[in-house]
A and B are shown apart, each in its own frame.
Chain A
């Protein structure tokens, strides 16, 4: 019967979009005030840094690794952004460049020594956090004016967070899913041996993917301080779990190089909105984390159902 509804591949691709539509519809129904440009702006603003962190996580997932350090890393970027980048822009840019390079080295290390990524990134989580506390021991600092200006930009008609989400999704989609080197990068996760036999360096692909993750982590941290106007070392700690859940919700798999940039952005939006919806429904906070997990399980269960169709 399900087969009649359409091709499983198509169903799988639209599932994240359907979950987002359902949650957005529920929020609109409960609070019609949200159905305005200002409302959508308030609702989706904080989803932009989450979406960028989710894309970073997705690059790591694409090469069969898992990044447990992204939350600490985004926090470090936020701290550098609110201090050095503001007072000494050149030094700030150099430091952020060094962060990206460190991420690439982390990828290389995992490849060379054949280390489990979970162990390496879990260790690095504390390294990022420690450096962040050294950079900014007490909450504070100030985001550079140009970042707050970008994040506070109000385009006519469409709210900025929606524009940002579409741009992120489209750019990454074309770079990773449509370009020829994108195919190699994903292939390194899907079938590393075949990619290596074809003469491509697996080390280079890991370096590239981890560097890309580092770059999007930087974008995430900067967009975050653009919204909060200041930083704090542990400001992005929840991003580790949010980014993994968002990417998986959006159709990525833990293994096999199967990822979806558009899905990842939608997954991040869905997760952010899910928490917001729960407050609008007056769900007590103690239940909210559980309810978030519940939403994740429902969507994944639906996907498992579709996957079974796909195999059959």
Chain B
């Protein structure tokens, strides 16, 4: 019976709000977040951003409901069942971070056939009826080399720290870095290790390879590994090279310390977990009748020497630098893709 009660409550709230202010056409619409995993700092930040932004949207009467559901075991079949549940619960739109790019296509198609708007982000799905807000991981690798070329026109030796072996994201960023090296031929990759996007793993891996390496001028990374790399260089008593950071709070803190002590200069790049809130607004805009292209690319969150302090101040301990999207930001993002 709780379903009925929520519905009644939702209608009551909508009516109460409707009396005073002018509302978007989506005031009665219900949006659900189907999330496959919540076990790391990035996902936790993503869920927190979703909660914060959608709560306000519900309170403002822009949508009637925006609940988040996370599957317990990060399994495609489990998430397919979750999507089918959402169809039955009468949601108007499903925002999706998918466990598999293809294995949910059956359930996604069922949702589309039921007239539900499906917007996938980060972990996108290939089903053509769904919208995709994808991350250009290749570019994330390539821009690191572009930055290095700007800082060291003469080039130098580069150590690459990769992510978790066999994962799509790792392959993509690596391909981007390879492309970047090809473009800026003055750089040479002298070593490559897997840091698994975790500081401790990266530190151990870098410490293991350092004795066999010549002078290292720069380290390219995938995020969650820059701080560990710095520690390994320090422990080995070697000069600290230019290490690209990945927006984690520990990395930014270390960078700030170095900057204050000796003017250390680098850049930091990763995806803001708030991309989930962009997906939320995109879904709301589609429900509102706006024509949105099926494929959108998310911009990265890049931190430079100038805005380091500002970003560090808003990043909580153990977290990731974040940007939450407002309705206007989303409208701008949509307009720029068209």
Contacts and interface: CB of A to CB of B under 8 A. Distances in A.
Nearest to B109: A229
B25 interface: no
Contacts of B110: 42
Given A34-B88, A46-B80, A231-B103, 10 more contacts: A31-B88, A43-B88, A139-B102, A227-B107, A228-B77, A229-B105, A231-B102, A232-B103, A235-B100, A282-B2
Nearest to B35: A285
Contacts of A280: 3, 85, 89
B81 interface: yes
B78 A42 contact: no
Interface of A: 29-31, 33-34, 39, 42-43, 45-46, 138-141, 148, 224, 227-232, 234-238, 272, 275-276, 279-282, 285-286, 288-289
B115 interface: no
Contact of A139 (B69, B89, B101, B106): B101
Contacts, number: 92
A130 B99 CA distance: 20
Contact of B76 (A31, A138, A232): A232
Contacts of A235: 75-77, 100, 103
A45 B71 CA distance: 18
B235 interface: no
B1 A238 contact: no
Interface in B59-84: 69-73, 75-78, 80-82, 84
Nearest to B101: A139
B88 A224 contact: no
Contact of B168 (A138, A228, A275, A288): A138
B85 A46 contact: no
B102 A230 contact: yes
B263 interface: no
A238 B2 contact: no
Interface residues of B, number: 32
Contacts of B101: 139-140
Contacts of A43: 84, 88
Query: Looking at chain B's contact residues, is the secondary structure mostly helix, strand, loop, or mixed?
Result: helix
A308 to B, nearest CB: 34
Contacts of B334: none
A238 B85 contact: no
Interface in B72-131: 72-73, 75-78, 80-82, 84-85, 87-90, 100-107, 109-110
Contacts of B106: 148, 227-229
A286 B77 contact: no
Nearest to A292: B72
B3 A30 contact: yes
Given A138-B168, A228-B103, A230-B102, A30 B69 contact: no
A237 B104 contact: no
A238 B77 contact: yes
28 contacts: A29-B1, A30-B2, A31-B3, A31-B89, A43-B84, A43-B88, A45-B84, A46-B77, A139-B101, A139-B103, A148-B106, A224-B77, A227-B106, A227-B107, A228-B102, A228-B106, A229-B102, A229-B105, A230-B103, A230-B105, A232-B76, A232-B103, A235-B75, A235-B76, A235-B103, A272-B81, A276-B81, A279-B69
B321 to A, nearest CB: 27
Contacts of B82: 279
A30 B90 CA distance: 13
A236 B77 contact: yes
Nearest to A288: B72
A181 B88 CA distance: 44
A183 to B, nearest CB: 35
Most B CB contacts (10 A, CB to CB) among A29, A42, A280 go to A42
A275 B79 CA distance: 11
Contact of B102 (A33, A140, A238, A288): A140
